[in-house]
Structure 1
Amino acid sequence: DSVISLRAPTQVWSASSGDAAGETVHGIYHGDVRYIGEITLSYDGHLPEWISTSSHGASHVTFGGLMRSIDDSPPDPRVRLLRERHVLAGEVREVVTIVPSLSREVETTLRLRLVPSFVPLQEVKAGDAETLGWTHARRSGVDAAERISATGARQSFDVTAPGAKVLLTDDAVTLEWHVTVRPRERVSVEWSVVLHDDELVVMGVSRPAEWNLDPLAVSGLADSRVGRWLETALGDLDALRLALPDHPEDEFYAAGAPWFFTLFGRDSLWAARLALPVDHRIAASTLRVLARLQGSELRPDSAEQPGKIPHELRSSELTMPAGGISLPPVYYGTVDATALWVCLLAEAWQWGMPDDEVLALLPALRGALDWLVNHGDSDGDGFIDYIDRTGHGLANQGWKDSGDSIQWRSGELAEGPIALCEVQGYAYEAALAGAEILDRLGEPGADGLRVWAAALKERFASSYWVDTPEGRYPAVALDAHKRPVDSLTSNIGHLLGTGILNADDEACVAALLVGPSMLSGYGVRTMSTESAGYWPLSYHGG
């Protein structure tokens, strides 16, 4: 199993022993780049025998191992090795401690091998990672500790290792500590790496997170484990916080590690929305961050449209040759983020977002609502839809954005433009929420939005429902020919609570989602087991 430690925008993936192997996802990442692909800790030419991994939160983990070959005692091991890892934004620190229970003094040499990588994240994801060229230089720090710099095309890192001997080769940086281990006395060495990228478009957040509750002081819980679960969840959210350099005060949640460790419209909005009971402030700041990036003109290459909320933000162009994908640094290929932005604004206000902050976002709200009514429907059929017109953008632009995610029950792929069922629910909810905000602010336009929403609800009821051997339910989407794509998927669960379904239809949808073809025992499947395209390991069809 892989072990992750993170503090956005920095993350470390390793084996349970703490070592990292470059042919996997393992390594030290910062932003969109893997800086170090291999990390190997050894002693006297031996690898420690791993026995434990203890997590102390999202950013702190301790690995435990045995050093059998240096104690020559029978059969109970007498020397342990503890490897304590801390991850900060832009830095990774490790303290390696030898814990002996020996009656005599021994000598050993600890060796840490680091292999620079400087490989873009998407190449690691695609399995095409090849270490890029790098240079290194030795220099001394003010603390007299040896410091090593490695530089790639744009990024660089500095390694500091007090007391270590440094060996430089064409493919690695190796640190060696000659250690004297005295009877029953711990001895520690440490090293750290600081990661640099002057063009990184996101930055870490150093100030403490502020929650509206103490997770371990929540009363009335039927199960005491809920408090500990909540404490862990809040710690993970804390480690996912990011900001943009031009507005460091406005935080948002990274979409997720390892591949989406940046601002994603949909994901950052959903995370902030689900976290409203514990913090409405990050919802407000997420809204502001996305409003500053809101589309203002028509740009087919980036899918930008006036009022549209962006999909993702990267430091440079995202290219995935195997999939024929090439996305600009700011990409707007998302059909749902704009409606979700409006929904979050309405709920954040209900949870305590100050009136003046809501009022300041009125222009962005009007832009988002205008996009829903006037730009979100590409073919004039009355439904919000998407189609990639560039040939190198995302073929699917909902939360199921893999190329094969929208398919018929027979397994055939649907042809776009695609009008996803859940997006109509989001749009309906957003129109009514937007109307309510306009009314509360004394602004015009609410009545027109309510009329538009009512018409959308009526069209949805007459166009999306299908009858199959699995039952009656909303199709996952309408295809280019306005036919309901009849696969049973988890997408219909997103309709619940939006208001676009009546009570009986919601009960029907809920029953199907917990039926045997959709509920796995671990959670809700993304596609029914009765669909021809179902495969348990599929990203969006399993």
Structure 2
Amino acid sequence: MNAGDPAPHGQGQVTIVEGTTFSICAPSGDMEPGGAQGLFFRDTRIISRWQLRVDGQAPQPLSVVDADAYAARFMLRRQPAAGHADSTLLVVRERCVGEGMREFVTLTNVGREATLVHLELHVDSDFADLFAVKEGHAGGSATHSTASGVNLVFSRPDGSRGLLVHATGEPTSTHNGLSWQVVIPARDEWRTEIVVHPVVESRRIEPRFRDHMAPEEAEAHTWRRNVTSIRAQHQDLNLVLRRSVRDLDALRISTGEEPGQTFVAAGAPWFMTLFGRDSLLTSWMTLPLDPKLAVGTLHTLAALQGRGVDPRTEEEPGRILHELRLGPQSASALGGTHYYGTIDASPLFVALLGEAWRWGAAESDVRALLPAADAVLAWLDGYGDRDGDGFVEYQRATDRGLFNQGWKDSWDGVNDAAGQLAEPPVALAEVQAYAYAAWLARADLADAFGEPAVADNCRQRAEKLRARFAEAFWLHDEGFFAIALDGRKRQMDAMSSNVGHCLWTGIVTDEHAERLVARLSQPDMDSGFGLRTLSDRSGAYNPMSYHNGSVWPHDTALCVAGLMRYAHIPGAVELAHRLTAGLLRAATAFGGRLPELFCGFAADQFHPPVPYPTSCSPQAWASAAPLLIVRAFLGLDMNVPRGELVLRPRLPQEWGTVTLDRLPFNGSLLKITASGTEAEVQGLPEPPNVSG
């Protein structure tokens, strides 16, 4: 199914998203009360009921078209008259979101005589917090509603949130909706426009729809036309790449205070906000597409970096934020609006800063961010290393925080081969790998800015960590790394996908990498649709779980990038190609959009892949995963300050030609064309410094 093709009726819920605004609805366009559907703005459900009725009945859905993540068109028809198989009234709902919502309803009479239509729109709001909706206990908080002419007004009793609904076509309004009585001549149509304005602290928010923006705002939304174009001859890959770029565009959020500083929200519907880990990894994956996303993410997180110690929010000096929340109940969710309970965002911050420098971030930006990076490294040495053994560990500060604080942050996400849970404090394998990358990144920055003593110290720290990691985490008899060390320094010996992240950062020695590649190649890890998060031989394995046997596209992509880093190891490239082929098969089954995760059943058991019921879609690092894979197969790296470009292509033969156009490099825009192990670069500044 192409990105703009109609989705069959009954395919499930439809999510459309733009920044911090998103809607979840049925294929009819209705938002049904009593569940998770609705229109959400800044972590609050501002519409809990939005139902269209034609002559007292729900119209019949025909198709859904959602060519862009922020808009959708719902095709319906009036229920046929009694005794008739066909209908003569087409109902089209065109919806877009952007700091509010706009919906056009067009009624087209295809019959031979005029028709009388009674149209109703039932509207309600509960102003529920996003997490209350997600967890299924939104209480339906009392609201006050009024009707005035063409307007409906809803408000929370405390005045913190409100809603204004305005419609054209001279409707009749009541406290719970709008209605129209219209006569439509034969072969003619009638249309109304309905606009939803959120209200925050008594201030009405003006919606910002892309097709109605001022010229300067519209310029900011030409992002897709300005970033690197990535195309492939391979039809399925090209579909996935197009969809990924569209979704990443919709997930971009500006801080407001600095419009040029943009980051990517974690994902719709439940995580349309800043997440340290997710936003950092996503902007790393999207470096070939738009390096500015990394800079915006780093600045945004640096401004929110921990300053003091607060057990309620788990804030500590130098610690990088886990998530930012804006909903009406945020103060009681995970300790507050700013929650710091993540172990991996901090080292990833420093690692990304070094990578952004290599990819052309301005020296002024990097110098401005160095104090934040050094504060992170101080945190790694202090609060991050709870027992002074050189590893970075986590243990929540109170019973309100996340029990597990790595990317597998579900309560049962870290366990041993028998399925026993890790007791805190926990040192995760991939977190040590991220810390290794952070020390090396800071060393490179020190070299660039004339700090030789700092560079030497950071490299020594990295090499010491690499040696300690190999000694403490390696399971010699099994041929892989433990997922973690628990509070007693016991190796948690479950075979997990986390080891792929270790390959990605380069902390793994070649000796261990050879056995690790062989172990990852076994069918207990490769589902045929991507890498399982946990071996199907493990005691905690459950293909329908969140982290214990499911497939996460970003996780598979990081493993693929890790395998390509060790392309000289026998079998690494072949496994990377195989995992990617499976992931592309899964992507096409999901209409070209990779979801946050899906169930880990084997491909020869169930095809297409089985969806995970509460998976985010679109989701940032899932959308970015194909970009990282393309970069890995191109062997694409750069060091802009040194004028160096590296290309070592090992593309799957079935991909044919892959083309990157408008790739920024040292003041020029490059065009790279590659197939197999060959590549051509156009537009290099003189003198070129290319290795391959």
Shared fold (TM-score, shorter chain, > 0.5):
yes
- Residues 399 and 451 (structure 1), Cα distance of their counterparts in 2 relative to 1, 3 Å cut: same
Q: 1:309, 1:338 within 8 Å by CA — same for their partners in 2? A: yes
Counterpart among 182, 188, 201 of residue 191 in structure 2: 188
CA offsets 1:313-372 (integer angstroms, 9 cap, x no match): 123686799xxx742211111111111111111111111111121112121121122222
Distance 1:318 1:463, change over 3 A: farther
How far residue 459 of structure 1 moved from its aligned partner, in angstroms, is 1.0
The verdict on how the C-alpha distance between 1:510 and 1:168 changes in structure 2, with shifts beyond 3 A counting, is farther
Q: Distance in 2 between matches of 1:364 and 1:269?
A: 15
Is the contact made by 1:317 and 1:329 (CA closer than 8 Å) also made in structure 2? Answer: no
Query: Of 97, 101, 109, which aligns to 1:92?
Result: 101
**Is residue 91 of structure 2 the alignment partner of residue 81 of structure 1?**
yes
Closer/same/farther in 2, CA of residues 513 and 182 from structure 1, 3 Å limit: farther
Q: 2:475 aligns with which of 458, 466, 476?
A: 466
Aligned to 2:305: 294
Match of residue 509 from structure 1: 516
Pick the aligned partner of 1:9 from 20, 32, 36: 20
Residue 160 of structure 1 aligns with which residue? 166
Q: Select the residue among 433, 440, 447 that pairs with 1:432.
A: 440
Task: Report the equivalent of 2:353.
Answer: 345
Residue of 483, 486, 491 corresponding to 2:493? 486
When the two structures are aligned, how many residues end up with a matched partner?
524
Cα deviation for residue 77 of structure 1 reads 3.5
Unaligned 5+ segments in structure 1 are 141-145
Cross-structure match for 1:143: none
**1:378 equivalent in structure 2:** 386
Post-superposition Cα deviations, 1:391-428, rounded to whole Å, max 9, x if no partner, equal 21111111111111111221221100000000000000
CA distance in 1, matches of 2:202, 2:162: 12
8 Å CA contact 1:317, 1:327 repeated in 2 = no
* 3-state secondary structure, aligned to 2:197: strand
Q: Is the 2:413–2:548 Cα contact (8 Å) retained in structure 1?
A: yes
Distance 1:97 1:288 in 2: 44
Q: Does the aligned pair in 1 maintain the 2:318–2:375 contact within 8 Å? A: yes
Judge which range, 497-506 or 474-483, deviates more: 497-506
Residue type at the aligned position of 1:184: R
Structure 1 pair 218/29, CA: closer, same or farther in 2 (3 Å)? closer
Cα displacement string for residues 104-142 of structure 1 (whole angstroms, at most 9, x for unaligned residues): 1110111111121111111111111121111123345xx
- 1:43 equivalenced with 2:49 (yes/no): no
Q: Which has the higher strand share?
A: 1
Counterpart-to-counterpart distance in 2, 1:388 and 1:292: 23
Q: Is the 8 A contact 1:526 1:540 kept in 2?
A: yes
Q: Read off the aligned partner of 1:208 and give its amino acid letter.
A: H
3-state SS, counterpart of residue 117 of structure 1: coil
TM-score by length of 1: 0.91
Give distance in 2, aligned partners of 1:226 and 1:413: 38
Corresponding residue for 2:221? 208
Letter in 1 for 2:495: L
The match for 1:446 among 436, 452, 455 is 455
Q: Output the aligned Cα RMSD.
A: 2.4
Instruction: Give the whole-Å Cα distance in 2 for the aligned partners of 1:66 and 1:384.
Output: 59
Relative to 1, partners in 2 of residues 1:211 and 1:361: Cα closer, same or farther, differing over 3 Å?
farther
SS, match of residue 93 in structure 1: strand
For residues 52 and 517 of structure 2, the distance between their equivalents in structure 1, rounded to whole angstroms, comes to 51
- Report the CA distance between 1:213 and its aligned residue: 6.0
User: Could you tell me whether the CA contact under 8 Å between 2:498 and 2:533 is conserved in 1?
Assistant: yes
Give the whole-Å Cα distance in 2 for the aligned partners of 1:179 and 1:538: 51
Alpha carbons of 1:425 and 1:250: their partners in 2 closer, same or farther (altered >3 Å)?
A: same
- Could you say which residue in structure 1 is the equivalent of 2:127? 118
Report the residue type matching 1:126 in the other structure. E
Q: How far, CA to CA, are the matches of 2:320 and 2:503 in structure 1?
A: 23
Contact 1:369 1:434 in 2 (8 A): no
Counterpart for residue 541 of structure 1: 548
SS in 2 for 1:159: strand
Secondary structure of 2:261's partner?
strand
CA contact (8 A) 1:490 1:526 kept: yes
Distance 2:225 2:468 in 1: 41
Distance 2:359 2:153 in 1: 48
Alpha-carbon spacing, 1:521–1:436, altered in 2? closer, same or farther (3 Å) = same
Please tell me whether the aligned partners of residues 167 and 195 of structure 2 are also in contact (alpha carbons under 8 angstroms): yes
Q: Is residue 182 of structure 2 the alignment partner of residue 179 of structure 1?
A: yes
Which residue pairs with 1:310 in the alignment?
321
- Comparing 305-314 with 226-235, greater Cα deviation is found at 226-235
Q: Give the letter for the 1:161 counterpart.
A: A
Secondary structure class of the residue paired with 1:299: coil
Tell me if structure 2 keeps the 8 A contact 1:212–1:279.
no
Gaps of 5+ in 2: 1-11, 211-216, 550-692
Separation of aligned partners in 2, 1:510 and 1:93: 51
Shift of 1:461: 0.7
Instruction: Find the counterpart in structure 1 of residue 283 from structure 2.
Output: 272
Q: Are the structure 2 counterparts of residues 304 and 235 from structure 1 closer, same or farther at C-alpha, using a change threshold of 3 Å?
A: same
Residue 318 to residue 350, structure 1, CA distance change in 2 (3 Å): farther
Aligned residues of 1:35 and 1:117 also touching (Cα < 8 A) = yes
- Matched residue of 2:92: which SS? strand
Q: Secondary structure at the match of 1:248?
A: coil
3-state SS of the aligned residue for 1:247?
Answer: coil
1:356 is the counterpart of 2:367: no
How far is 1:474 from its partner? 0.6
Quote the offset at 1:192 in angstroms: 1.6
Equivalent residue letter for 2:138: A
* CA distance, structure 2, for counterparts of residue 218 and residue 465 of structure 1: 38
CA 252–43 in structure 1, closer or farther in 2 if over 3 Å, else same: same
**Quick one: structure 1 residues 485 and 277, their matched pair in 2 at CA, closer, same or farther if it must change by over 3 Å?**
same
Contact 1:36 1:117 in 2 (8 A): yes
2:435 is paired with a residue whose SS is helix
Percent identity of paired positions between Structure 1 and Structure 2: 36
Match of 1:526 among 527, 533, 539: 533
Deviation at 1:166, TM superposition (A): 3.9
Using the alignment, how far apart are the partners of 1:288 and 1:485 within structure 2?
Answer: 36
Match of 2:268 in 1: 257
Q: Which amino acid aligns with 2:97?
A: V
CA contact (8 A) 1:57 1:235 kept: yes
Take 2:285 and 2:61, find their aligned partners in 1: how far apart are those partners? 38
Q: Please tell me the residue identity of whatever aligns with 1:162.
A: T
Q: Give deviations 1:129-186, integer Å, cap 9, x for gaps.
A: 121111123345xxxxx112111141111000112434434xxx21111121211112
Q: Please report how far the alpha carbon of residue 299 of structure 1 lies from its aligned counterpart in structure 2 after TM superposition.
A: 2.6
